[in-house]
Amino acid sequence: MSKPIPPRPGASAVRTRLAEILRVDHAGELGAVHIYQGQRAVLGAAKGRERIAAQLEEMEGHEAVHLARFDALLNERKVRPTLMTPVWRVAGFALGAGTALMGEKAAHACTEAVESVIEQHYAGQIAELSEQEPELAAQLSQFRDEELAHRDLAVEEGAHQAPGYAALSAVIRAGCRAAIKLSEKV
């Protein structure tokens, strides 16, 4: 008995991969919006935290624009969002609120960890899509630049001085990578 021959890559393989990319990017932006909402729920109400509240609101606004674009792309390309959407909403908010409860520097450490993983993730997608989907690659490049600005701001604001920074950052990065893998497929 011989092994079955795997299907040859073709249009359906390209469509499947594009669906994975759109699904995971939508999930990531959804999670980011909810992380910032969780952080703002804690820090936005605290007296004397107007500066960080304004920073978080601005970054959340960027993520909301990204999310709206991916909502539109999912609809245009007839791609379903990840089935993990309800989990990512709750997990994102909990991560945001939890790190904010640890203090401003921990909230910034969360942003730095998440945006570092997302920057690498987008860079890989940009390289992958640059020839077959140049408009999408250009959009991802713009989003990547904004994510880098968020990361850089978080570092400037003291992300690396957060209590337990190394462990906190490692856990958040690992969680992001796992969420990426899961959201591509589920």
List, for residues 55-107, the tens digit of each pLDDT value. 999 999 999 999 999 999 999 999 999 999 999 999 999 999 999 999 999 99
Per-residue model confidence (pLDDT) at position 42? 95
Tell me the C-alpha to C-alpha distance, in Å, between residue 39 and each of 101, 108, 124: 8, 10, 28
Mean pLDDT value of segment 38-43: 95
Closest CA to 143 of 25, 15, 20, 18: 25
Torsion of CA 164, 170, 176, 180, to 10 degrees: 180
Measure the CA–CA gap between 174 and 117, rounded to whole angstroms. 9
Per-residue model confidence (pLDDT) at position 11? 60
Mean pLDDT value of segment 6-11: 52
Per-residue model confidence (pLDDT) at position 5? 47
DSSP state letter for 41: H
Looking at per-residue confidence, does 101 or 2 come out higher? 101
pLDDT in tens, 99-144: 999 999 999 999 999 999 999 999 999 999 999 899 999 999 999 9
Measure the CA–CA gap between 131 and 45, rounded to whole angstroms. 46
Looking at per-residue confidence, does 44 or 37 come out higher? 37
Round the average pLDDT of the chain to a whole number and report it: 92
